[in-house]
Chains A and B, each alone.
Chain A
């Protein structure tokens, strides 16, 4: 990482640090209260986060992605649905990361319904993310959100297939 990029990434952090140091030395009341909030949250995070990222790193090196990708396109019914959800769950990411994969799925013959289910699962159901959701919001919250969001994705997939038609294709973007 270059110094310039480091400076850019930490621009706001440095600004906040200056504000906090200023508040501490001048005894600026709002700054002190904000700092009290911040230091409590920061201490909480710094104890757990590195550990959670270790788990994610281990997961990352052990999951065989190639093996799952082979199955995509094989059957567009329930089995196809199972595989797109599995693929999305082991290799999740931000919403916009799902679009290029949706194109590949479409090209390989996945059904319209499964393509849209994939997009939902990709952005919402990643196993690495579960670590964080369980850690910060609890097992029950995670489980409920898992079940209900899964139902919602499938429903969205079904509605989308009706809406755009079975012959819909995702376009290639250079």
Chain B
């Protein structure tokens, strides 16, 4: 987090020196994005709070923690494939889950499948790519997300 704070302050200063008008426009855009995402963020934070209350820490460690194995990875891939959560909300949520014992592998599978696999948007994708290509792309991405997570698990 320290890197990000440092980067923000540095970029803000450079930008301010280079072009004051543009910087103000950027600040406005950023804050507007933040306000637009706030309701979704609050909703997800609340759902995560409820989830963490209902599921005891021990169960999280066992089913989604390090060494939870295939069931944890499969659950993450399935939930990620059907959810439509903006990345700006998914990452804060992932951070919370990791701090509560969910493994990096599970979180990586969840995030990658969330972004690459779209079951809800599949009808739209079929219109652009046809049934055959759309289904194949989603299937490959589903397994791809699991591979990404498992590889990350080898290093973290």
Contacts and interface: CB of A to CB of B under 8 A. Distances in A.
A145 interface: yes
Q: How large is the interface on B (under 10, 10 to 19, 20 to 34, 35 or more residues)?
A: 35 or more
Interface residues of A, number: 69
A64 interface: no
Interface stretch (A69-77, A78-86, A133-141): A133-141
A59 B30 CA distance: 9
Contacts of B5: 48, 51
Nearest to B150: A148
Interface string B131-151: 011001100110011011001
Nearest to B10: A55
Nearest to A153: B144
B61 interface: no
Interface in A22-73: 30, 33-35, 37-38, 41-42, 45, 48-62
A54 B8 contact: yes
Interface string B1-35: 10111011001100100000011011111111110
Q: Main SS of the interface on chain A?
A: helix
B30 A56 contact: yes
Contact of B115 (A49, A123, A136, A170): A123
Top-5 shortest CB links A-B = A57-B30, A136-B95, A37-B49, A132-B91, A152-B144
Interface of A: 9-10, 12-13, 16, 30, 33-35, 37-38, 41-42, 45, 48-62, 94-96, 99-100, 102-103, 116, 119-120, 123-124, 126, 129, 131-137, 139-141, 144-145, 148-149, 152-153, 155-156, 159-160, 163-164, 168, 170-171, 173
